Amino acid sequence: MVRFGIVGFGLHAAKRLMPGFAKATNCRVTAISRRDPERARESARKFGIEHAFTSTAELCASPDVDAVFIATPDALHLADVLEAVCHGKPVLVEKPMAMNADEARQMVQAARDANVLLGVAHVMRFEESVRWFHERIASGAIGKPVLARAAFVAPLITSARTWINDPTLATGGPLADVGVHCLDTLCYVLGDEIQTVMAQAQYDSKWVLEASGTALFHFASGTLATISVSARAPYQTLLEVIGEDGILSAVNVLNVEHPVTLEFRRGFDLIETREVFNERAYTLQVEAFASAVEERRPFDIPGEEGVQNQLILDAIFRSVKSGKAESV
């Protein structure tokens, strides 16, 4: 049984991580940290967690913590990961991994030097809906992918995570916060790497960071793909991959609360339809990391892949500023 400590026990930890841990068979949460000591104690009491700390260092030093889950704002990830690595604790860090690729590289190098397991929490890869896309494409069901698109919109302006509009704490607006889900999912299901990016963003008076954005990717195989994101719309996600022999598509594909209808078409013919549920995604994620810790093997999404996603995000934001295509 791997005992986790969660650093940055806020809304995400309470709403998503704890329900996931509650159903896990090989791991549990034994410690949390929050800056406010009373809130830390209150959260620990609510979820029946043994230890409540006010700093990452205290949590990582606890002998009752085997692995660390970093769920703090983006700008704190580097220091928190380095602290966990310094204590020799395997660490799973939330997405986006860092503020930029340089910070992500520092994390990977530190973990490598200390021989400590480092993973990135791209939870969408553990969704049944995403796995279906990955398996169908890998099997050649739709032939060579030629076009793809992913979209993720949500009313982030009303989110309790107010720090996501603070450029000193957040990697970016929706392009980073939910856009990283889109680009990681595209790379995963296509089994391909993005080479160049052309992006645009839209700003309004309500936020400092971008309110909406879109990006065009050119993959190594020649596939063209787009992502569209916004913090100004009701929640909805979309994934579609068009191949030479068929099309895979699903609305609200990236969600853990509602059923997803998956469709495989050839022209006007519906070849396959399936309804799946992604409610176990967070459980599968922590179980997979715990198994990697116990078996002393790499995690499914290592830090190196987090670096690659940061390189893509960096290219997106360079393109927004330059108005030109940027290499990853």
CATH topology of domain 124-278: Dihydrodipicolinate Reductase; domain 2 (3.30.360)
Rounded CA separation 14/145 (Å): 38
CATH assignment, 2-121+282-300: 3.40.50.720
Mean pLDDT across the stretch 69-93?
98
Report whether pLDDT(79) > 90: yes
In angstroms, the CA 327 to CA 198 distance is 9
pLDDT at 275 over 90: yes
The per-residue pLDDT for range 141-192, each reduced to its tens digit, is: 999 999 999 999 999 988 888 899 999 999 999 999 999 999 999 999 999 9
pLDDT in tens, 44-70: 999 999 999 999 999 999 999 999 999
Residue 233 burial (CB count, 10 A): 16
- Confidence at residue 27, expressed as pLDDT on a 0 to 100 scale: 98
In the chain, domain spans: 2-121+282-300, 124-278
**Alpha helix ranges (H) inside the chain:** 11-12, 18-22, 37-47, 56-61, 77-86, 101-114, 128-138, 174-177, 179-190, 281-295, 303-322
Tokens 């993959």 -> residue: 219
For residues 195 and 322, what is the distance between their CA atoms, to the nearest angstrom? 17
Predicted confidence at residue 161, as pLDDT, reads 86
Per-residue pLDDT at 157: 87
User: Is the whole model's pTM more than 0.75, yes or no?
Assistant: yes
pLDDT value at 227 more than 90: yes
* Residue 127 banded pLDDT, cuts 50, 70, 90: very high
Cα(72)–Cα(237) distance, integer angstroms: 24
pLDDT at residue number 229: 98
| Across 290-314, average pLDDT | 98
Fold matches, 2-121+282-300 and 124-278: no
